[in-house]
Amino acid sequence: MRMTSGSPAPGGGCDYKNGTLPPCAPLAAGYVPMQEKNPETYDKEKALARGTLFPGLDLPFKNVTNKSNPYAGTPLGELMALQFMMKEMQLFLDTHPDDTVVFSALQNVIELYETGARTYARLYGPLSLKDMQYADKYTWTNDPWPWEYREKEGQN
């Protein structure tokens, strides 16, 4: 018996919702399709709201999706979105270390994050203890802490 296969992409290979399986495989083993190299991605705002950078893995319960997140468009929301892209690329590269496209995309996102985080720390307060290097006094313990409810999001 053969499983119905997903739709092939126009250029051959699998489309973004499908991955590759071995044509013949040893019995009594588990197989998840490998995600293809250089997969289709969302922009960073959409990735954060959806919980994945990859449309192929976006499989919502009852097909209800988040349109946005409560910090979208704020400086902190921007940093969260960049950090989330880094996390998604990291996990992808852990199992696809030879994907040079995703690797250089990761390097670009890290640079954007580092620049943004330095600016953020100067204007709103530290995200890491290292931000104390440029502070004029010790503000690391200042409220609010991340779990606290704040009416005005993204602002310390």
Partner 1 sequence: MFEYNKKLQYPVKIATPNPKLAKVIITQYGGPDGELGASMRYLSQRFSMPYPELKGLLTDIGTEELGHLEMVGAIIHQLTRNMTMEDIQKAGFDTYFVDHTAGVYPQAAGGYPWNAASIAVKGDPITDLTEDMGAEQKARLTYDNILRLSDDPDVNNVIRFLREREIVHFQRFGEALRKTQERLNEKNFYAFNPAFDR
9 binds partner 1 (CB under 8 A): no
Q: Exactly one of 34, 101, 123, 135 binds partner 1 (CB under 8 A); which one? A: 34
46 binds partner 1 (CB under 8 A): no
The rounded distance, in Å, linking the Cα atoms of 84 and 82 is: 5
Contact between 54 and 85 (Cβ < 8 Å): no
Beta bridge partner(s), residue 8:
14
138 binds partner 1 (CB under 8 A): no
| 38 closest CA partner among 98, 120, 121 | 98
Tell me, residue by residue from 117 to 136, as one string, x for binding to partner 1 by CB under 8 A and - for no binding.
--------xxxxx-------
Segment (H or E) for 4: none
* CA–CA–CA angle 83, 153, 87 (5° rounding): 10
Residues that bind partner 1 (CB under 8 A): 26, 28-35, 48-52, 54, 57-62, 64-66, 69-71, 76-77, 79-80, 83-84, 87-88, 90-92, 94-97, 125-129, 140, 145-150, 153
